Amino acid sequence: MLDLLQSASDGVLYGATYALIGIGFTMVFGVMHKVNMAYGAASVGGAYLGLMMLKLGAGLPAPLVFLGAFLAGGLLGWMVYLACFHFIPLSSPLATLMSTVGMLLLIDEVIVHTTDGMPQNYPALFDDVMLRFGEFTLRGDLLLVFLVSVACMAALLALLYRTRLGLATRAVSQQAIAAQLCGIRVAQVNVTTFVITGLLGGIAGAMIGAAVGTLSPLLTTPLTVKGLIVTVIGGLGSVPGAIVAGLLVGGFENVIQLYRGVTERDLYVMLLLFAFLVFRPGGLFAPAGERD
Amino acid sequence: MALLELHGVSRHFGGVRAVDGLDLEVREGEILGLIGPNGSGKSTTVNVITGLYPPSAGRIAFGGRDITAAPTHQRLSEGIARTFQNIRLFGGLTVWQNLWVAQNSAADRAASGFLSRWMGGQSGAREDIGKLLAFASLAGREDELASNLAFGEQRRLEFARALAAKPKLVLLDEPAAGMNAEEIADLDERIRAVRERGVTVLLIEHHMELVMAVTDRVAVLNFGQKIAEGTPAEIQAHPAVRKAYLGGDD
Amino acid sequence: MDFYFGLAQLIGVHTLLGLSAYVVLLTGQVSLAQAGFFAIGAYVAAMLTVLAGWHLVPALGAAALTGAATACAVGFPALRVKGLMLVIATLAFGEGVRLFFFNFDYQIAKGDIKVGPLGGEGFRQIRFFPENGWTTLEVMLFIWTFVLLVMALLWWLDRSRYGAVLRAVGEDELAAQSAGINLTAVKVSAMTLGGVIAALGGGLYAHYATHIEHLNFGILLATFAIAYPIVGGLASVFGTLAAVLFVQGFLVEGLRDLGDWRNLLFGALIVLAMNLRPRGFLDADNLRAIKRLFLGGGRGAS
């Protein structure tokens, strides 16, 4: 029982990173009705770029590396927007989808080539700190990952619900044409969404690196798949949904790993997704949608 | 003799009662007009009749058979066809293909075997589609992409497509929208021609002149309920209708 | 010369993969599951020839049937999810299949060695072709016979009513339903047909590659599958073929010296292609132009 709780708790803490990735996917979907398949790769890419700063300025403290990842993520987000959504007409959904897939492959391969495919060590903070409550442990590094992620989510929610930009974003996601008619520059909202989700992705990538201790290009595929699963389970377009779903998936997979081992773990996550698709295709929180 | 009957049909969307306890009857061979201000529930009624939304309450019968639970594509084979307010043609398909894919009447299914119906080429359908093209005045244009047609041509094509499955009832959802006087006169003739062939017509329209000219009877909706029913002359004089809708002009 | 035959084999198998996605794309469903059906076809066919001693042709038939059954099973729940959710669901399915084979062991002893799939190590010794004395040329011709058959079938389909119905569903489901088209039947049948073609391709792949493993059937392959018809354009099967030739021919042959950079260039190529020609190489308009050029303005549905 204790093992179960411990696994679940560790999983939920780590799941905050999935929540961030899920938020990224779901926001782009909500605002533009498109999936940015390159998002997972860009997040890992941001983490790598943050790492490069560490290499360049040897001995940079970890928080600066995280900051570097944060900013690099935003930059990559902007680049993906340019490559995939700026020139291609949004009325060609297949073309935009395909181009994001192309970017996914491109970013992935760039990472592999610049690092020769070798995993890179990632700085962690508080990895030697353990908060103990009897038999139950909260790992310091995971707790940090969780808290940083939560802080970002809180900042995002504040942005969405307390600022004009957030209001514009929500308006565009509900009725893009009407929003335009009200004077909102939709293209600007789109770019901003990409940059903001990029920033979040960079932090997510950095946090994953911090939690796991290494970064490797092999991370991008499972991260992309899990991020998409979280998005679907949470409800396409719903930020709160992505948050809850991310924590849920994190906890779930860790518990499964305890009982079935790591090779079968991902298979069960797929099954979880299929269960949702069959029983609750709208996800946990279907967002306010338009009538048909 | 009633062809289509709606008994106490309601359709709610959350708190909005788009259609509220509607009793409507379309008699075989007639041209029935359905009018009402914007938001009165006309389009929702059409969508419920064609099966896009299940009714929240009530029953729908067609030719004496209860079709309340029948899926949309099945209603077509029962004999109910429709056009759309905002034209919904298959833009990437040719004129010919738009008509071809719609030949889904029970008679069509029975007429040829599975393989020839699905995998066969165009020759079997040439005669029937030729007639449809003639109706739409689009003979010789069959290889053009539907999206390349002019607006009026698209409307005619959509009308012809609705007829492709040899329906017993055609629902025309605001077919005159965006048309000029000449096109409307043309539409008037087509509707009458269709009736000559034994097809019943339910015409949802805003264009009062057309409605008054071509329909046998008119039903008026407001706030999802029927507020009046009768001949065009009766409706024009009806106080409730005037109040809700006509307001003196038009 | 053998190198070119090998390349032609690869192009053939990838064309089948692309065509399997093409059929499904016509109905408006973007399916990343084709790599999964491909994998299933590969393992089933290989297991039948290696473990049960079947001849390749019936093994391919069985693989195709398995592909059909799986695709049909996927096709029904796929109806409940629209648009991008379908992309994600099919992606997850494909990954699920890959993970299944990652965990799948079934070996039997043959003489001194054990043969059969072995989880992460994959399935080696798929030696039907070498054991039966097929030359590289013969293998290539064998593969291309199937490719040409499938292309002919799909080309004919494009001219038939079924083809028009598929595209009508892809254009506007609401209008299609209202015109009497049974969406379920159309979408599931397209998915099933796609499954058959993909499984066939997979079975052929397993035998010319002689060694398959789960990593062959991941997201990259799923991506290739839809990239071909999207980059090639959905107006005609030849678009998909052209895209396969371009991608594999250009990347493999033209950039042979760059070795590992191929995948990177593939990504960049897709991004570029989509920006320059969002509707693909052969869209409806240039198809007509080409037809007019070669056939001099003949009749016939597009």
Residue of chain C nearest A283, judged by CA positions: C85
Q: Which residues of A touch C231 (CB under 8 A)?
A: 98
Whether residue A279 is predicted with pLDDT greater than 60 in this model: the reply is: yes
Asked if the Cβ–Cβ distance from C270 to A104 is below 8 Å, we say no
Question: Does A172 fall in a domain?
Answer: yes
Asked if the Cβ–Cβ distance from B119 to C301 is below 8 Å, we say no
Q: pLDDT of A223-266, one tens digit each? A: 998 999 999 899 888 888 999 999 999 999 999 998 888 888 88
Q: Nearest 5°: CA angle at A66, between A61 and A69?
A: 130
Q: pLDDT of C175-212, one tens digit each? A: 999 998 999 999 999 999 999 999 999 999 999 898 99
Q: Which residues of C touch A274 (CB under 8 A)?
A: 77, 89, 92-93, 96
Q: Are C302 and B142 in contact (CB under 8 A)?
A: no
Q: Which residue has the higher pLDDT, C253 or C173?
A: C173
Parent domain of A136: 15-231
Nearest Cα to A236, choosing from A34, A49, A43, A2?
A34
Shortest distance between the Cα of A240 and any Cα of chain C, in A, equals 18
Question: Does A275 fall in a domain?
Answer: no
Whether residue A143 is predicted with pLDDT greater than 80 in this model: the reply is: yes
Q: What is the pLDDT of residue A171?
A: 85
Spatial distance between the Cα atoms of C302 and C292, rounded to a whole number of angstroms: 11
Phi and psi, residue A286, nearest 5°: -70, 130
Whether residue B84 is predicted with pLDDT greater than 70 in this model: the reply is: yes
Spatial distance between the Cα atoms of B180 and B185, rounded to a whole number of angstroms: 9
> Across residues C69-78, what is the average pLDDT?
91
CB pairs under 8 A between A and C: 127
Residue of chain C nearest A33, judged by CA positions: C84
Shortest distance between the Cα of C62 and any Cα of chain A, in A, equals 26
Q: Any idea which of A6-10, A116-120, A254-258, C164-168 has the lowest mean pLDDT?
A: A116-120
Task: Name the residue facing B96 among C156, C182, C301 (closest C-beta).
Answer: C301
Domain boundaries, chain C: 2-217
Query: In angstroms, what CA-CA distances link A160 with A5, A25, A285, C167?
Result: 34, 15, 17, 40
Q: Any idea which of A185-189, B111-115, C267-271 has the lowest mean pLDDT?
A: B111-115
Q: What is the pLDDT of residue B250?
A: 46
pLDDT > 70 fraction of chain C, expressed in percent and rounded = 93
Q: What is the pLDDT of residue C298?
A: 46
Q: What is the pLDDT of residue B172?
A: 95
B neighbours by CB contacts (3+ pairs under 8 Å): C
Verdict on whether the full-model pTM lies above 0.80: yes
What's the distance, CA A225 to chain centroid? 11
Region of residue A45 (left: phi > 0; alpha: psi -120 to 50; beta: else) = alpha
Most C CBs within 10 A among A25, A230, A262, A270, hence the mutation to make, goes to A270
Q: pLDDT of C34-68, one tens digit each? A: 999 999 999 999 999 988 889 999 999 999 999 99
pLDDT range class, residue B240, cuts 50, 70, 90: confident
Residues B1-79+168-250, CATH architecture: 3-Layer(aba) Sandwich (3.40)
Q: pLDDT of C135-162, one tens digit each? A: 888 899 999 999 999 999 999 999 888 9
Coil, strand or helix: which one is A213? coil
Spatial distance between the Cα atoms of A127 and A214, rounded to a whole number of angstroms: 13
pLDDT range class, residue A289, cuts 50, 70, 90: very low
Q: Please provide the average confidence, as pLDDT, over all residues in chain A.
A: 85
Whether residue A162 is predicted with pLDDT greater than 90 in this model: the reply is: no
Question: Helix count (H) and strand count (E) of chain C?
Answer: 13, 4
| Chain A touched by C224 (CB under 8 Å) | no
| Chain A touched by C251 (CB under 8 Å) | no
Dihedral sign (CA B103, B95, B93, B76): negative
Q: Which residues of C touch B102 (CB under 8 A)?
A: 179-180
Q: What is the pLDDT of residue A291?
A: 32
* Number of compact structural domains in chain A: 1
Shortest distance between the Cα of C1 and any Cα of chain A, in A, equals 31
Residue of chain C nearest B96, judged by CA positions: C301
| Chain A touched by C269 (CB under 8 Å) | yes
Task: Name the residue facing C278 among A88, A105, A281 (closest C-beta).
Answer: A88
Spatial distance between the Cα atoms of A98 and A94, rounded to a whole number of angstroms: 6
Spatial distance between the Cα atoms of B137 and B131, rounded to a whole number of angstroms: 10
Spatial distance between the Cα atoms of B183 and B84, rounded to a whole number of angstroms: 17
Kindly state the tokens that stand for A224.
Answer: 């992309």
Shortest distance between the Cα of B17 and any Cα of chain C, in A, equals 23
Q: What is the pLDDT of residue B120?
A: 64
Antiparallel, parallel or unpaired: β B65-66 and C113-115: unpaired
Q: Which residues of C touch B50 (CB under 8 A)?
A: 178
Residue of chain A nearest C26, judged by CA positions: A94
pLDDT > 70 fraction of chain A, expressed in percent and rounded = 96
| Chain A touched by C79 (CB under 8 Å) | no
Shortest distance between the Cα of B50 and any Cα of chain C, in A, equals 7
Q: pLDDT of B175-221, one tens digit each? A: 998 888 999 999 999 999 999 999 999 999 988 889 999 999 999 99
pLDDT range class, residue C299, cuts 50, 70, 90: very low
Asked if the Cβ–Cβ distance from C168 to B94 is below 8 Å, we say no
Q: Please provide the average confidence, as pLDDT, over all residues in chain C.
A: 87
Most A CBs within 10 A among C27, C76, C85, C104, hence the mutation to make, goes to C85
pLDDT range class, residue A185, cuts 50, 70, 90: confident
pLDDT range class, residue C170, cuts 50, 70, 90: very high
Whether residue B111 is predicted with pLDDT greater than 70 in this model: the reply is: no
Spatial distance between the Cα atoms of A193 and A81, rounded to a whole number of angstroms: 10
pLDDT range class, residue A59, cuts 50, 70, 90: low
Most A CBs within 10 A among C274, C275, C276, hence the mutation to make, goes to C274
Q: pLDDT of A205-217, one tens digit each? A: 988 888 888 888 8
pLDDT range class, residue A145, cuts 50, 70, 90: confident
Q: Which residues of A touch C224 (CB under 8 A)?
A: none
Whether residue C260 is predicted with pLDDT greater than 70 in this model: the reply is: no
Q: What is the pLDDT of residue C300?
A: 45
> Across residues B140-156, what is the average pLDDT?
91
Asked if the Cβ–Cβ distance from C164 to B93 is below 8 Å, we say yes
Q: What is the pLDDT of residue A210?
A: 83
Q: Which residues of C touch B90 (CB under 8 A)?
A: 167-168, 171-172, 175-176
Q: Nearest 5°: CA angle at A202, between A200 and A207?
A: 95
Q: What is the pLDDT of residue B244?
A: 78
Question: Does A73 fall in a domain?
Answer: yes
Cβ within 8 Å of residue A255, ≥6 positions away? A4, A7, A8, A11
Q: What is the pLDDT of residue A292?
A: 29
Shortest distance between the Cα of A229 and any Cα of chain C, in A, equals 7
